[in-house]
Structure 1
Amino acid sequence: MAEVVGPRLYSCCNCRNHVALHDDVISKAFQGRHGRAFLFSHAMNVMVGPKEDRHLMTGLHTVADVSCSDCREVLGWKYERAYEETQKYKEGKFILEKSKIVKENW
């Protein structure tokens, strides 16, 4: 008999707080500060820090660091604004670093 399993999730590596749904992954081909990162359409149970301009691999962006709402671990960032037309699709999306999240319900 098959068990009923909830949605596949990603959790904070530090405290296991649920931070994103697998269904919200847009791309797994991004680069974070500390290695590979995933681009998500949504994130949950996170705090968004102050906005700042950063020069990233794809140009200048206004971003805000994203932290776990439980343990305050910095997990990645949110794209607030992209200055290049080809990067506008990232606005409002979240980068979560692969090394900072763990899979749940897989």
Structure 2
Amino acid sequence: MADGAWPRLYSCYKCQNHICCHDDIVSKSFQAESGRAFLFSHAINVVQGPKEDRRLITGLHTVADVHCSDCGEVLGWKYVKAYEQLQKYKEGKFVIAKFKIVKANW
């Protein structure tokens, strides 16, 4: 890392397991069932649940819930497939509810 700086991370609010890096935020203007959420290009220390088709605000998507690998808390979901061309950029990315993560290393 440049000049010894550590990456700014987000951790699971329940167990402090590292989940994502601030630099991997694609968008801060997403909505989860419970409020604001962030779209991340990558997530670590998560376990993916079964895939299912879900009708979201932006249309039909195949998604899989993601859980913290340590405590099992549902943190959000991963976009597996977008059926509308304009939504394809979401494929492979993670929506994490803002209230489910806390800043670490800031």
TM-score (norm 2): 0.95
Give 1:6 deviation, angstroms.
1.7
Residue 5 of structure 1: how far off its partner (Å): 4.5
- Counterpart in the other structure of 1:51: 51
Q: What root-mean-square deviation, in Å, do the aligned CA atoms of Structure 1 and Structure 2 show?
A: 1.2
Deviating above 3 A after TM superposition, structure 1's stretches of 4 or more consecutive aligned residues are none
Q: Paired residue for 2:11?
A: 11
> For 1:1-106, what aligned pairs fall within 5 Å after superposition?
5-106=5-106
TM-score (structure 1 length as normaliser): 0.95
Segments of structure 2 that go 5 or more residues without pairing to the other structure are: none
Q: Which amino acid aligns with 2:20?
A: A
2: CA distance between counterparts of 1:5 and 1:12? 22
Report how many aligned residue pairs link the two structures. Answer: 104
Q: Point out where structure 1 has 5 or more consecutive residues left out of the alignment.
A: none
Structure 1: how far apart are the matches of 2:94 and 2:22?
Answer: 13
